[in-house]
């Protein structure tokens, strides 16, 4: 009886292990870890959540940058750091007219390694203000991706400033598929995250217009949770599972691209080799 129980137990754990191995890895391209998050959720626990969710890499930014640096120190294999032009949450609304933001960016870039600048909020003609222009120049100088929460007009202005910029369009601009399609057709260096959107996979099914868009641009989309408030950290595991559910409605090679390969490729140029 005991032998049977032990055998059953090892069979069960082997099954659990193979299920885990078969689980689609996720690159979460939209994670924030600001001061109110790390006060309640220390870095070790935050990393444990990412690992439990099966997140293989995460693009992390935080207002003030301190949270990002704490997470990088805890798990340099997992965390890809992005620099926000925000010192505090309040900078979201004012940063683009605040000249002191440029000095903050320059200081952090001189001290730490990043793969991106963002996520920043920038709309319309504000994209041509001096602080935004300086940010684009710094991204070009350091070879960094711009993670822009923007309308199509601001995206166009960023590309006019630097036609070779690489832009990750946060939330795909919350635009409709036909609008996203037009932007992707026009700009080959534009990628889209699907953070905080659900219509592409509600109920585990990809609607026809989304299927057509994802199929036409298989190498441009990636997923993200958007932990814009600390509570949303506890949603990361569920979001990864939800993403796997709708990605399973796509052909496996396309699902893998959206789950992690596209983000890996985008950030490969700015990510130091990790020996794996
Ligand atoms: Zn965000």
CB 139 within 8 A of CB 148: no
**Predicted pLDDT of residue 17:** 44
Nearest Cα neighbor of 120 from 79, 82, 162 is: 82
Q: What is the average pLDDT across 173-189?
A: 98
Question: Which residues are found with C-beta within 5 Å of the ion, ligand 1?
Answer: 119, 226, 228
Tell me the CA–centroid distance for residue 31 and ligand 1, in Å: 7
Q: Residue 22 — very low, low, confident or very high, per pLDDT cuts 50/70/90?
A: low
CB 137 within 8 A of CB 165: no
Q: What is the average pLDDT across 157-175?
A: 98
Tell me the CA–centroid distance for residue 29 and ligand 1, in Å: 10
Tell me the CA–centroid distance for residue 8 and ligand 1, in Å: 45
**HSE of 263 in the Cβ direction (CA atoms, 13 Å)?**
31
Q: How far apart are CA 192 and CA 152, in angstroms?
A: 12
Nearest Cα neighbor of 50 from 17, 72, 82, 19 is: 72
Nearest Cα neighbor of 56 from 34, 28, 35, 37 is: 28
Q: Residue 271 — very low, low, confident or very high, per pLDDT cuts 50/70/90?
A: low
pLDDT tens for each residue of 66-99: 999 999 999 999 999 999 999 998 999 999 999 9
For residue 92, the 8-state DSSP code is: G
Q: Residue 26 — very low, low, confident or very high, per pLDDT cuts 50/70/90?
A: very high
Q: Residue 40 — very low, low, confident or very high, per pLDDT cuts 50/70/90?
A: confident
Instruction: List, as one string, the DSSP characters of 64-91.
Output: TSHHHHHHHHH-TTTEEEEE-S-SSGGG
**Predicted pLDDT of residue 166:** 98
Tell me the CA–centroid distance for residue 2 and ligand 1, in Å: 52
Tell me the CA–centroid distance for residue 45 and ligand 1, in Å: 21
Tell me the CA–centroid distance for residue 149 and ligand 1, in Å: 8
Main-chain dihedrals φ then ψ at residue 116, nearest 5 degrees: -155, 160
Tell me the CA–centroid distance for residue 84 and ligand 1, in Å: 10
Q: Model pTM?
A: 0.90
- The token pair at 240 is 């990864």
Q: Residue 228 — very low, low, confident or very high, per pLDDT cuts 50/70/90?
A: confident
């Amino acid at each position: 009886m005991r032998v049977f129980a032990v055998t059953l137990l090892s069979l069960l754990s082997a099954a659990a292990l193979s299920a885990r191995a078969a689980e689609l890895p996720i690159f979460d391209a939209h994670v924030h870890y600001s001061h109110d998050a790390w006060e309640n959720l220390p870095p070790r626990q935050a990393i444990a959540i990412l690992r439990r969710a099966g997140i293989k890499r995460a693009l992390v930014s935080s207002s003030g940058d301190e949270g990002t640096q704490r997470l990088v120190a805890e798990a340099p294999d997992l965390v890809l750091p992005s620099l926000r032009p925000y010192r505090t949450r309040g900078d979201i609304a004012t940063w683009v007219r605040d000249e002191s933001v440029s000095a903050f960016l320059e200081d952090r870039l001189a001290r730490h390694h990043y793969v991106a600048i963002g996520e920043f909020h920038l709309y319309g003609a504000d994209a041509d203000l001096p602080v935004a222009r300086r940010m684009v120049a710094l991204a070009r100088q350091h070879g960094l991706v711009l993670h822009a929460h923007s309308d199509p007009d601001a995206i166009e202005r960023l590309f006019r400033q630097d036609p070779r910029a690489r832009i990750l369009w946060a939330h795909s601009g919350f635009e409709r598929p036909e609008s996203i399609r037009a932007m992707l057709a026009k700009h080959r260096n534009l990628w889209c995250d699907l953070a905080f959107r659900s219509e592409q996979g509600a109920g585990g099914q990809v609607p026809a217009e989304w299927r057509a868009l994802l199929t036409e641009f298989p190498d441009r989309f990636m997923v993200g949770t958007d932990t814009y408030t600390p509570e949303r950290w506890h949603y990361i595991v569920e979001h990864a599972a939800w993403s796997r559910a709708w990605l399973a409605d796509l052909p496996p090679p396309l699902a893998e691209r959206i789950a992690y390969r596209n983000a890996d490729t985008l950030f490969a140029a700015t990510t130091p080799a990790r020996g794996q």
